């Protein structure tokens, strides 16, 4: 991951240096810093619960090389944050045919969860390649459109539940286990979990529209609206892992959960599972302010 980010930044630096040399030969260009914010979320269809969009934005630097007075090419680098949330009042899950490590007996693990909440946030390093058109005298109307390559930096989800009740049905003895905490059985309140989400590189369609204000001959303030729309699924893992999962520790079996972004849920009445989300794409729309220095 670190090597990919370094390669991306190196490519931006080479583009910046090359365009600066051309600018020194008589062509105009701009360097800029910008901040943007608004709706910045992970868009997906959830199989259960209520999906809520989140807020976020981006912070970055840019370089624009003007081929003519009205047309230029823009690149740079920006860090972008995307957030979303899912809540579910109550649900059940079953994991079938687990093996009891003490005697090898098969059992099914049943969970009943109340007050579930999951918050997801991901961070990307985006590298844009945009075309800019501007028109006007001193103050100009501008528009940008193009693509961005998003390199994943970090993906996390935090989950919690007001109550989780776990029990197991053992096949050979046809008995229920309900109190063996070393196997994860029992009633647990104020459950919480915090883990990573593995992410893919993403390609965005991106557009900006607004006004370019001339503060002086070489200093400009851009104000406008922007849109970044992801074109591919960013979740790297398959979605066939069970929503409720387990981890062996020195104290026994610990019950955890996967993210709704990369898992399926099982139901106690049958052996079927249901994928909890379809493709996940980052989407951002909001306002952007950019301060640019002419070279």
DSSP per-residue codes, 71-125: EEEEEEEEEEEEEEEEEEEEEEEEEEEEE-TTT--EEEEEEEEEEEEEEEEEEEE
Pick the CATH number of 2-294 from 2.40.128.30, 2.60.40.350, 3.30.565.10, 2.40.160.20: 2.40.160.20
pLDDT at 221: 98
Q: What is the pTM assigned to this prediction?
A: 0.84
Task: Please give the chain's pLDDT, 295 residues, in tens.
Answer: 445 445 544 544 454 455 444 444 444 899 999 999 999 999 999 988 999 999 999 999 999 999 999 999 999 999 999 999 999 999 988 888 888 877 888 999 999 999 999 999 999 999 999 999 999 989 999 999 999 999 999 999 999 999 999 999 998 888 999 988 888 899 999 999 999 999 999 999 999 999 999 999 999 999 999 999 999 999 998 888 888 888 888 777 788 899 999 999 886 555 567 889 999 999 999 999 999 999 8
CA atoms within 13 A on the CB side of 244: 29
Contact 276, 260 (CB under 8 A): yes
How much is the pLDDT for 294? 93
Which residue do the tokens 């006004």 mark? 211
Alpha carbon distances (Å) from 119 to 83, 113, 193, 259: 7, 17, 11, 9
């Amino acid at each position: 991951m670190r090597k990919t980010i370094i390669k991306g930044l190196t490519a931006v630096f080479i583009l910046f240096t090359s365009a600066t040399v051309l600018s020194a030969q008589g062509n105009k260009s701009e360097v800029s810093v910008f901040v943007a914010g608004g709706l910045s979320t992970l868009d997906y269809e959830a199989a259960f619960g209520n999906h809520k969009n989140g807020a976020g934005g981006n912070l970055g630097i840019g370089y624009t090389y003007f081929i003519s007075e009205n047309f230029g090419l823009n690149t740079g680098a920006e860090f972008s944050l995307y957030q979303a949330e899912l809540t579910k009042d109550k649900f059940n899950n079953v994991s079938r045919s687990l093996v009891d490590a003490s005697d090898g007996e098969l059992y099914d693990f049943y969970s009943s969860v109340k007050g579930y909440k999951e918050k997801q946030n991901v961070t990307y390093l985006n590298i844009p390649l945009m075309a800019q058109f501007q028109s006007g005298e001193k103050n100009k109307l501008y528009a940008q459109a193009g693509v961005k390559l998003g390199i994943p930096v970090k993906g996390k989800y935090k989950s919690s539940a007001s109550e989780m009740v776990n029990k197991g049905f053992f096949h050979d003895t046809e008995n229920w286990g309900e109190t063996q905490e070393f196997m994860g059985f029992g009633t647990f309140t104020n459950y919480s979990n915090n883990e990573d989400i593995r992410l893919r590189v993403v390609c965005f369609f991106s557009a900006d529209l607004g006004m370019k204000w001339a503060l002086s001959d070489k200093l400009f303030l851009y104000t406008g609206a922007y849109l970044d729309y992801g074109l591919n699924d960013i979740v790297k893992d398959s979605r066939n892992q069970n929503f409720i999962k387990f981890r062996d520790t020195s104290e026994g079996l610990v019950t955890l959960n996967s993210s709704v972004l990369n898992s399926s849920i099982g139901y106690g009445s049958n052996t079927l599972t249901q994928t909890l989300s379809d493709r996940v794409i980052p989407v951002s729309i909001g306002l952007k302010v950019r301060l640019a220095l002419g070279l």
